[in-house]
Amino acid sequence: MWKVDLHSHTIYSRDCLTRPETTIAKARAIGLDKLAITEHNNLAGALAAKKLAPDLIIVGEEIKTTHGEIIAWFVSEEVPKGLSPQETLRRLRDQGAVISIPHPLDSLRGSAMGLENVLEIIEQVDALEVLNARCVRPADNDAARALAGQHGKLMTAGSDAHIPFELGRCYMQMPPFEDNAESFLAALQTAKPTGQVSPFWPHLASTWAKWRKKVRPVRYGGLSHGA
């Protein structure tokens, strides 16, 4: 079985200062077979990482809609933030992406959809993220798992890493799959979420990253990554 972390960020996200090459090196050191880079509202980081490690990286995106976030893998065309969930889903479906809802019932995270919004679209997504290492309250992950079971949804897991320490804290045990959406989706059918949540302090690193970029935007890869 492969060890696959389906949720992570690099310096191309506004709340992260970790460079793609650092993320890749850490992922290899801890034995990840695949790592999804899912930047907030852009594909730049995932595409940059994919060039550096095509065998390791899955190109994804975590997209802020008008009613919470949606996460997708094997994304080929960037989906902008601020669209309705329905329009976001349409754009992802049009390009054949695999779609989940990250940290759907996280009671402490403003970007979480929450139960009412999740239920509006649950039949239109492939999966729910049921194990997110940044969910402070274990009950929120448990509730997501129960909801996925009730609706017959596939389950996903990821570290939501913003610093190298977090990588691989939560991950999927998956059979090997080819580098395409169809094979990945098939592998999810028998995959198992596993791992443990991170301590609280990495959230402070994200807060620092946002303030650091506001004070002095970081130029990386030819782009400015500020607020």
pLDDT at position 227, please?
42
Say if strands 98-101 and 218-220 run parallel, antiparallel, or are unpaired: unpaired
Query: What is d(CA 158, CA 119) in angstroms, rounded to the nearest whole number?
Result: 22
Q: Note down pLDDT in tens along the chain; length 227 residues.
A: 999 999 999 999 999 999 999 999 999 999 999 999 999 999 999 999 999 999 999 999 999 999 999 999 999 999 999 999 999 999 999 999 999 999 999 999 999 999 999 999 999 999 999 999 999 999 999 999 999 999 999 999 999 999 999 999 999 999 999 999 999 999 999 999 999 999 988 888 899 898 888 888 877 655 566 54
Query: What is d(CA 50, CA 56) in angstroms, rounded to the nearest whole number?
Result: 8
Report the candidate in 26, 64, 20, 18 with the shortest Cα–Cα distance to residue 46.
Answer: 20
pLDDT at position 223, please?
56
pLDDT at position 219, please?
72
Query: What is d(CA 94, CA 142) in angstroms, rounded to the nearest whole number?
Result: 31
* Domains of the chain (ranges, CATH numbers): 2-225 (3.20.20.140)
For 81, list phi and psi in degrees, rounded to 5. -75, 165
Measured CA to CA in angstroms, residue 57 lies from 149, 164, 165, 178 at distances of: 28, 15, 18, 12
Q: Tokens 């596993």 correspond to what residue?
A: 194
**Burial class, 201, CB count within 10 angstroms (exposed 0-12 / middle 13-18 / buried 19+):** exposed
pLDDT at position 190, please?
98
Q: What is the pTM of this model?
A: 0.95
pLDDT at position 224, please?
62
